[in-house]
Amino acid sequence: MNIALIGYGKMGKEIESIALKRNHRIVLKIDRNTLGDLNTQNLQKADIAIEFSTPHSVLGNITKCFDSQLPVVVGTTGWYENFENIAKKCTELNGTLFHATNFSVGVNLFFKVNSFLAELMNKYEAYDVNMEEIHHIHKLDKPSGTAITLANQILSKVERKKNWSIERHGSEVLFIKDVREGEVPGTHIVKYQSPVDDIEIMHKAHNRRGFALGAVLAAEFLVGKKGIYNMSDLI
């Protein structure tokens, strides 16, 4: 499979390493120094694009892939308020999109645990729930896309919480503490606290390899497909 890497930072390089080991070829690498190479002629040399760029450039990158009839795997976060518009464009152009706030298999299992626990905790009102996410200092969006997914799962199950915020606003708000430090790949913690005890679940990434492998697996999954997919279709 010929892959175009849109975003060639630390994550892009990790994806490249795994893709090559799985006998794929990298035919295009786009970073801040090669933005001029991101055009239809070059994109059509690829069978699929894997996009890990920035919240500021992701929408334009997705659109260029659609216009080039190139399936795209999107790992960038911070753009989901525009998801409906992107989904509409994908359908109109008969495109192919695989999107996820986190491509780690472990994180997606954590999503299932989080949803199940939230459903259990709904009837135990003595427990307040809050979250913490910790990432490296280079991450631009906050809270993380993964934290937003976790929070929305909780809001759908725990009726006493009405919305989430990165600031403390009272008992009906799910507080998400966001921390940026060092080179932390990603840690997400969900805490249920009561006067008598605490219940806590955590996912801690040790490196970027799990995210990169998930993105390559998603690219392999998309071969021959049209439409919109996410990690629930893969796992």
Q: Which residues are catalytic?
A: 135, 139
Q: How far apart are CA 155 and CA 115, in angstroms?
A: 10
Closest CA to 74 of 233, 225, 215: 215
Which element (helix H / strand E) includes 97? strand 96-99
Q: How far apart are CA 129 and CA 71, in angstroms?
A: 39
The answer to whether the beta carbons of residues 169 and 214 sit under 8 Å apart is no
Q: How far is CA 18 from CA 12, 78, 170, 188, in A?
A: 10, 25, 45, 25
Q: How far apart are CA 143 and CA 132, in angstroms?
A: 9
Q: How far apart are CA 102 and CA 22, in angstroms?
A: 21
Closest CA to 164 of 177, 153, 151: 151
Token pair 């933005």 is at which residue? 35
